Chains A and B, each alone.
Chain A
Amino acid sequence: MSIRPPPVAPVQPVSVSGGAQAPSTAVPASATEEIAFDIRDFSLWYGARQALDTVSIRVPARKVTAIIGPSGCGKSTFLRALNRLHELTPGTRISGSLRLFGEDLYGRDVDPAVVRRRVGMVFQKSNPFPTLSIEENVLVGLRLNGVRDRAFLRQRLEETLRMAALWDDVKDHLRRPGISLSGGQQQRLCIARSLAVEPEILLMDEPCSALDPLATAKIEELIQSLRETHTVVIVTHNMQQAARCSDRTAFFYLGKLVEFADTRTVFMNPHNPQTEAYVSGRFG
């Protein structure tokens, strides 16, 4: 981990046209591809410890982007910076620019709650609210954001549970506690809960690491079905998973983005020797 002195200057959004990319992080993207996150020279510190070091990456819209790298490389930190959840940790500081569809996520007038409504998140360990039923868990985001329309809530409940491939399992006992479900079902419930507030982006932080292979397969299927409508960014320790279900793969090491390219390229023909060593299992 490189430790640099904290920047003196405040956050300075870099203009979209400027800034040359390092060859290893260049994306072989078509010119028409829409970019969801446009991130330039983004650094993040926890106190004096630097967790992300001048990361520049353009995450495409309506594609699945996988983030891989050894533990402590900054993958989860990067993901949490995408919906400003890292701000819960006291003493964090950022520099650089992070834009979502052209808008500065860290702008002066941006409400983090609004950011998080557009950028949902699914966590490593399923965490349905223990006091709420299955139905209440799915709808809690809408309800606590002021939605009262019963017909709409009812429709959204079924829609999102279907999207999460959970409707058939739970339609007859929606009033049961969310934590009465199995681990895999709980994780799909959490995905439904995130989808209910209609985010454009879904961040997933090792969503399958606590699940068995069958439950994992269901979540991966679900990710495939979401890529039509949603931008998915998934952190994973499982390289087969990254290879199976992502369009692009980013390899992080020691807080830096080492390589970002088509998943096939990263796994079959990586430019960077570190990437090659990691994906072939020689370190990490």
Chain B
Amino acid sequence: MTRPSFQLNPARDRWRRAINRAITVLLFLCAVLVMTPLFLVIYFLVSRGASSLDWNFFTQLPKPTGELGGGMANAIVGSLTLLAMAAVIGVPLGVLGGIYLAEYGVARLNGYVRFAADVLNGVPSIVWGMVVYLMLVVPFKTFSAYAGGVALGLMMIPLVMRTTEEVLVLVPQSYREAALALGIARWKVITKIVLKTALKGIVTGVLIALARVAGETAPLLFTALGNNFWNHNLREPIAALPLQIFSYAISPYDDWHRQAWAGALVLMAIILAINLSVRALTRGRNSR
């Protein structure tokens, strides 16, 4: 009886190695292709925008039409103000909703709430702007920073809620059982043990939601409106980077086009900074 040989067939082996190499190269090219758009974005923003970035850009108001120079100080501060207002609305409601889904909800109702949140995540951002326009701009007869903050905040709620739920569900049931078996009241188990364990994940979710809404333009068009001056009253229109970029980009002036590129670069830098802090946070979690 002949034993099957362990010897490789040299021709088949060469063929197999060639296929292996070809597929590896193909997959590598796909990976490069995925990263290309990011490099393109950064390349264009830096090449067009960096030259217009100077100290004035961060400290001065926009100049009137026809005058050169000026900056977007009001839009930068405006964007940060809007983000803060959005966080005040979106974070508590989103986190509490996520806690309800993960810790208290009954299966049937949870299904509906989750479905509603997923639909809300898919609502086009301009629709949020229109809804808030009808809710807050029409009744008060003025565009306002409040309306802009509410529009962004409403967009954040489903985002924060779903990520909060997801990280809470990842907290092992054994921690809840151990805490309850110590005779600790349920709300304390959730606030002091479960939330604490999931804190990094929740903060990560909040930051991702902030980064997501920071670049939104459409919800602000009919709410915050934009403003060429400092906003001293949140009941009045406020400037925001995306709005300022939008109005400068569609203007006929070269100087404003340059500033729009610079504004886009700053906006991108803010969002990149948020994403980098997310990475720093999650790395800390994985190393444990």
**A88, A90, A130, A141: which contacts B183 (Cβ < 8 A)?**
A141
Interface residue B193 (Cβ < 8 Å from any Cβ of A):
yes
Interface class of chain A by DSSP = helix
Residues of the B chain whose Cβ atoms lie less than 8 Å from the Cβ of A144: 179, 182, 184-185, 188-189, 192
Whose C-beta in chain A lies nearest to the C-beta of B184?
A: A144
Q: Are A130 and B288 in contact (CB under 8 A)?
A: yes
Q: Which of A99-133 contact B (CB under 8 A)?
A: 112-118, 120-121, 123, 125, 127, 129-131
Tier of interface size on chain B = 20 to 34
Q: Are A197 and B180 in contact (CB under 8 A)?
A: no
Please encode chain A, from 125 to 153, with 1 for each CB lying within 8 Å of some chain B CB and 0 for all others. Answer: 10101110000000011001100000000
A residues with a Cβ closer than 8 A to B are 83, 85, 88, 90, 112-118, 120-121, 123, 125, 127, 129-131, 140-141, 144-145, 190, 193-194, 197
**Distance in Å: Cβ of B191 to nearest Cβ of chain A:** 10
Contact of B177 with A145 in the complex, beta carbons under 8 Å: no
- Which residue of chain B is the closest to A89 with respect to CB atoms? B173
Q: Flag whether B9 is at the interface (Cβ < 8 A).
A: no
Distance between Cα atoms of A197 and B174 in the complex (Å): 19
- Among B173, B182, B185, the residue within 8 A (CB) of A197 is B182
Report the bound CA distance from A3 to B181 in whole Å: 29
Shortest C-beta distance, A237 to chain B (Å), equals 19
Asked if A88 and B182 sit within 8 Å, CB to CB, the answer is no
Complex CA–CA separation, A113 to B186 (angstroms): 8
Chain B, 192-210, CB within 8 A of any chain A CB: 192-193, 196-197, 199
Closest to B176 in A: A88
Interface residues of B in 133-188 (CB under 8 A from A): 172-186, 188
**Complex contact A88–B184 (CB within 8 A):** no
Q: Give the docked Cα–Cα distance between A125 and B185 (Å).
A: 23
Contact A123 B174 (CB under 8 A): yes
The total of Cβ contacts below 8 Å across the A-B interface reads: 76
Residue of B nearest to A80 (CB): B177
Additional A-B contacts beyond A116-B182, A127-B177, A144-B188 (16; CB < 8 A): A88-B173, A88-B177, A90-B107, A113-B186, A114-B183, A115-B183, A127-B178, A129-B197, A140-B184, A144-B184, A144-B185, A144-B189, A145-B183, A193-B182, A194-B181, A197-B182
Asked if residues A83 and B181 are in contact (CB atoms below 8 Å), the reply is yes
A118 proximity list for chain B (CB < 8 A): 183
Q: Report whether B184 and A141 are in contact in the complex, using a CB–CB cutoff of 8 Å.
A: yes
**Residue from B106, B178, B179, B189 with most neighbouring chain A CB atoms (10 Å):** B178
Complex formed: what's the CA distance from A200 to B174 in Å? Answer: 22
Residues of B within 8 A of A141 (CB): 182-184
Contact of B185 among A113, A123, A127, A129 (CB under 8 A): A113
**Closest CB of chain B to A266's CB: distance in Å?**
28
A113 touches B175 (CB 8 A): no
Knowing A88-B176, A127-B172, A144-B188, the reply to whether A116 touches B197 (Cβ < 8 A) is no
Q: In the complex, what's the smallest C-beta–C-beta distance from B24 to chain A, in angstroms?
A: 39
Contact check, B183 vs A123: say whether CB atoms are below 8 A apart: no
Partner of B174, one of A90, A115, A125: A125
